Amino acid sequence: ARKFNRYSYIYGGMKAIIWTDVLQALVMYTGVCVAIIYGLILVGGFKQAFSIASQGDRIEFDNLSVDPRTRHTVWPILFGNSFNALLTYGFNQMQVQRYMCVKSTRGAQTTIFINIIGVACLILLSGLMGVIPYVYYSGCDPYTAGYIQSVDQIFPHFIMDA
């Protein structure tokens, strides 16, 4: 991707880089949405998916525990994501380059706001995309059954299997 961006910058300027980013975002969102829609059709819909995932303790939005041994609670997620956002939006060269290319501070703020909304939507969609294989394979685990060698292969296996 970097080589392509460098090539785009040399032959098309910043406008080419921006349009490349837009095209990449469209491809990513389209792929994620198609996978989600297809998966929800297979598992019986949104309500069914969240019902099974809730019964399996995979969905937990309100864990306010301050116990540091608890895996996912609101506090570490907020702290960790805040720190990650500070690093990404404050120090990442690609992000800073985007801010510097707009004409005003207001334009840079708008760029950040649009990016944050897009990333938040992609994270939520990715979470939903993770619930679907869990629901689909709730009666049989492909990893323990030996169909896949690593748990990282669950989603590609789901796409190929379904």
pLDDT tens by residue, the chain, 162 residues? 555 555 555 666 777 878 888 899 999 999 999 999 999 999 999 999 999 998 988 887 777 888 878 777 888 888 888 999 899 888 888 888 888 888 899 998 998 898 889 889 998 999 999 999 999 999 888 999 999 999 999 999 999 988
Report which residue type is found at 101.
Answer: C
pLDDT of residue 115: 87
Rounded to the nearest 10°, the torsion over CA 159, 125, 148, 72 is: -160
Tokens at residue 79, please?
């702290």
pLDDT of residue 15: 79
pTM of the predicted model, to two decimals?
A: 0.75
| Main-chain dihedrals φ then ψ at residue 73, nearest 5 degrees | -130, 170
Question: What's the per-residue H, E or C state across the chain?
Answer: CHHHHHHHHHHHHHHHHHHHHHHHHHHHHHHHHHHHHHHHHHHCCHHHHHHHHHHCCCCCCCCCCCCCCCCCCHHHHHHHHHHHHHHHHHHCHHHHHHHHCCCCHHHHHHHHHHHHHHHHHHHHHHHHHHHHHHHHCCCCCCCCCCCCCCHHHHHHHHHHHC
Q: Count of alpha carbons within 13 Å of 50, Cβ hemisphere only?
A: 6
pLDDT of residue 161: 87
Task: Report how many domains make up the chain.
Answer: 1
Our measurement of the distance from residue 16's CA atom to the centroid of its chain's CA atoms, rounded to an integer in Å, reads 24
**Residue ranges making up the domain that contains 55:** 2-161
